[in-house]
Amino acid sequence: MPSNLRLALTSATALAAAGACSQKETEPPKPLNVVYIMCDDHSYQTISAYDRRYIETPNIDRISEEGARFTNSFVANSLSGPSRACLLTGKHSHANGFTNNEHGIFDGSQQTLPKLLQAGGYQTAMVGKWHLVSDPTGFDYWDILTGQGDYYNPVFIREGERIVRHGYSTDITTDVALDWLDGRDTDKPFCLFLHYKAPHRSWMPDLQDLGMYDDVTYPLPETFYDDYATREAAAKQEMSILADMNVVYDLKMADREGEIHTPENPGLEQYGRDLYRRDLAPGELVPGRMDAEQQAAWDAYYDPIIERFKRDSLSGKALYEWKYQRYMRDYCSVIHSVDRNVGRVYDYLRDHGLLENTVVVYTSDQGFFMGEHGYFDKRFMYEESFRTPLLVRLPGQKRHRDIDAFVQNIDYAPTILEMAGLPVPEDIQGESFLPLLEGVKPSKVMTTEGKGWRKSLYYHYYEFPAEHSVRRHYGVRTERYSLMHFYNDIDEWELFDLQEDPMQLHNLYGEPGTEDITRELRKELERLQVLYDDPIISRN
Ligand code: SGN
Ligand code: CA
């Protein structure tokens, strides 16, 4: 028997998983499989297990109904590539080397979760958005979208071979994943990474979902009209729905009678239309985007909206709120397709008798702003983008549990290794939260720092100068406070009391009476920078 199987058989989880078949006592328990589903930019605000204001997501919710919902789940660096590198390595960005999308190339020769799983006898597959530039390593099978991926007729790289697949990205990604499950070696446990492109910008819904939320008027978030008083860094960004969301590229108001962008006519709207046409027009910049039939269905839905938009000539507050409603309708329609596809994955596992020994994880590469502070996008250490949804169905455990301990995406690798009954290498910076899933109280858990779960989180964002202009920053978050330092072309500290000011509108840094808490938090920040060995510490 391979050593990993021996270990898995003795772990509490593997035994719990076997509990379901205790009648058949002669059958040894099977090692756990893992289906790790990660969306791109899926906010917890648009998962009904977390928030019922905007959309119902019954299939995603089922994972937490039959398992656990993490109510304090965070990322280490709120951006796609960096988040994926944290997942693969269990390390913060400075330690895994992938700090930002713009210049990052993932060093695939380093130790990674899939490689450790493979060495432990697992079959591994990566399907969908990869976004780490270098070719995937450590996978028995990989079939990835190019770059950000396209919504329609997307280009995949299947183990080095380029393929254009016809249809809608979320459906196709699921098809590829289920095909792999069908053809896998059933004698081995598996770990499948299923990474959707959805609901990343520019939020293009599946044809069958166009218009499904047109009757809904979404409530404006409380901080929609934030004036950024007391927060210089919050004001200095280019991710405002009013100023930066493009009505053509983002909201699909392409005037098809207009002229194509030329270098002599580089208006923003024209620029937007060009990008948009890349997705929309067949055979244009990238071969294989929408075909004539898809485009006709798309136009039949959007053309009347475009006509109305042109006629109404909105401006100011009316335009701002109109943009928000269109954004929410498109985004939620894209989520509806994700939810349907999560249902397909669940049905597959159930129909193939896999639910009893397969862990199902649902998460996102980071959180996302749904108009809070007037924003879309992510990047900031503010709550909406620092947090990320995390729902886990671990077989053999109680249903409907909330886990409120602080977890972070550097914890996924050690957790999955422990689920597989494999040792966690010492240089991994995250902690396994498997004991928390098994019902152990956080105070009783043994972590690399000793007894008891972590009480604070470390964050570091690097991508500046870059699109959206969010300044570089690092910070610490405790149960009650969030302290961040924006640096590079700015030197601003922000301190929030999350109990008194959960929306983070009032920067307390430097206010009389906050000296003690500031000193304490800066000390904790420094402790974390030393603990994780972040070279930035020299600049504090
Ligand atoms: C693209 C988007 C940005 C987004 C980044 C990073 N612009 O560049 O809005 O912030 O991706 O997103 S777009 O014009 O190309 O749509 S991430 O999730 O991949 O990190
Ligand atoms: Ca993302």
Going by alpha carbons, the residue nearest to atom 17 of ligand 1 is: 80
485-534 pLDDT, tens digit per residue, is 999 999 999 999 999 999 999 999 999 999 999 999 999 999 999 999 99
Q: Is 202 in the pocket of ligand 1 (CB under 6 A)?
A: yes
Ligand 2 centroid to residue 523 C-alpha, Å: 31
The verdict on residue 421 lying in a domain is yes
Measured from the alpha carbon of residue 378, the closest ligand is: 1
pLDDT at 30: 76
Ligand 1 centroid to residue 201 C-alpha, Å: 7
324 and 352 share a domain? no
Amino acid letter, residue 530: V
429 and 523 share a domain? no
11-52 pLDDT, tens digit per residue, is 444 444 433 444 445 666 679 999 999 999 999 999 999 999
347 and 422 share a domain? yes
**Of the residues 328, 360, 379, which one is the last residue of a structural domain?**
328
360 and 303 share a domain? no
64 and 147 share a domain? yes
Average pLDDT over residues 293-318: 88
Going by alpha carbons, the residue nearest to atom 10 of ligand 1 is: 377
pLDDT at 384: 98
Scan for tokens 């021996």, then name that residue. Answer: 6
CATH number at residue 194: 3.40.720.10
233-268 pLDDT, tens digit per residue, is 999 999 999 999 988 888 988 765 544 344 444 444
Please give the residue range of the domain that contains residue 300. Answer: 236-328
Ligand 1 centroid to residue 70 C-alpha, Å: 26
CB 525 within 8 A of CB 475: yes
Residue 81 Cα: closest atom of ligand 1: 20
pLDDT at 262: 43
322-337 pLDDT, tens digit per residue, is 999 999 999 999 999 9
Confidence of residue 224 (pLDDT cuts 50, 70, 90): very high
Cis peptide leading into 199, omega within 30 of 0?
A: yes
60 and 125 share a domain? yes
Scan for tokens 């100023």, then name that residue. Answer: 243
Q: Is 92 in the pocket of ligand 1 (CB under 6 A)?
A: no
Per the structure, the count of domains in the chain is 3
Going by alpha carbons, the residue nearest to atom 7 of ligand 1 is: 201
192 and 99 share a domain? yes
423 and 527 share a domain? no
User: How far apart, in whole angstroms, are the C-alpha atoms of residue 49 and residue 47?
Assistant: 5
pLDDT at 138: 98
pLDDT at 289: 74
pLDDT at 16: 41
pLDDT at 290: 85
285 and 411 share a domain? no
The verdict on residue 1 lying in a domain is no
Confidence of residue 4 (pLDDT cuts 50, 70, 90): very low
pLDDT at 273: 54
Q: Is 40 in the pocket of ligand 1 (CB under 6 A)?
A: yes
Ligand 2 centroid to residue 76 C-alpha, Å: 13
The verdict on residue 450 lying in a domain is no
99 and 196 share a domain? yes
309 and 362 share a domain? no
Give Cα separations from 221 to 151, 252, 375, 389 (angstroms): 28, 23, 10, 19
**Of the residues 328, 349, 364, which one is the last residue of a structural domain?**
328
pLDDT at 282: 54
Ligand 1 centroid to residue 266 C-alpha, Å: 20
CB 477 within 8 A of CB 382: no
Phi and psi at residue 357, to the nearest 5°: -135, 30
Measured from the alpha carbon of residue 39, the closest ligand is: 2
Return the SS3 of 344: helix
pLDDT at 253: 82
Average pLDDT over residues 274-283: 56
CB 31 within 8 A of CB 416: no
The verdict on residue 222 lying in a domain is no
Going by alpha carbons, the residue nearest to atom 13 of ligand 1 is: 201
149 has pLDDT over 60: yes
Ligand 1 centroid to residue 39 C-alpha, Å: 14
The verdict on residue 191 lying in a domain is yes
Mean pLDDT over the full length of the chain: 90
Average pLDDT over residues 397-426: 97
Q: Is 274 in the pocket of ligand 1 (CB under 6 A)?
A: no
The verdict on residue 447 lying in a domain is no
157-196 pLDDT, tens digit per residue, is 999 999 999 999 999 999 999 999 999 999 999 999 999 9
The verdict on residue 131 lying in a domain is yes
534 and 495 share a domain? yes
Q: Which of 245, 304, 230, 319 is nearest to 276 (CA)?
A: 245
The verdict on residue 446 lying in a domain is no
Ligand 1 centroid to residue 536 C-alpha, Å: 26
Residue 80 Cα: closest atom of ligand 1: 20
pLDDT at 272: 53
CATH number at residue 507: 3.30.1120.10
Is residue 509 within a helix (H) or strand (E), and if so which, with residue range? Answer: none
